[in-house]
Amino acid sequence: MSTQSIIRTLFVAAIMMSAFFVDAQKRTVVYQETPQQAPVFREVYDYDFVDVQPTFPGGDSEMVKYINKNRVYPQEAYEKGIKGRVIYSFIVNTDGSISEISLLRGVEESLNREAYRLISEMPRWRAGKMGSTAVPVYCVLTIPFR
């Protein structure tokens, strides 16, 4: 095999592998607001695979302050001693807005609703980026109730 054909083969292999890794960074999210609504399919990047991760304004410490300041423990759940961690996924869009909030693991209905409210009312985030381009990013957030 000649040097030129080896170089050509390595070049083709490198192109094919780079295409594989770029696709591996994306995920397809299916979202339905209600069971009657047609599902929406979106390609987004995973939080761990973007060059610049989306961030809450001021960073993680400010997000914790936001959650602690705005979280309202539902009275009945508090009185019954219900506690736990509610986990939601959502998309941080290219403009920093949050959409497609989806419950991954709930605790109790009133706590789930409160966690949803906190996430849906968050201020715009700084968008995630691939290179210098803003991209939609799939994120997961845990809201604790204790």
pLDDT digits (tens, 9 = 90+) for 10-44: 555 544 444 444 443 666 665 556 666 677 677 78
Question: What's the DSSP call for residue 2?
Answer: -
Question: What are the structural domains of the chain?
Answer: 27-145 (3.30.1150)
Tokens of 122: 């968050």
Q: What is the distance between the alpha carbons of residues 102 and 44, in angstroms, rounded to a whole number?
A: 15
State the Cα–Cα distance between residues 135 and 19, nearest whole angstrom.
18
Decide: pTM greater than 0.75. no
User: Are the CB atoms for 142 and 89 separated by under 8 Å?
Assistant: no
Q: Which residue has the tokens 């949803």?
A: 116
pLDDT tens per residue, range 60-112: 999 999 999 999 999 999 999 999 999 999 999 999 999 999 999 999 999 99
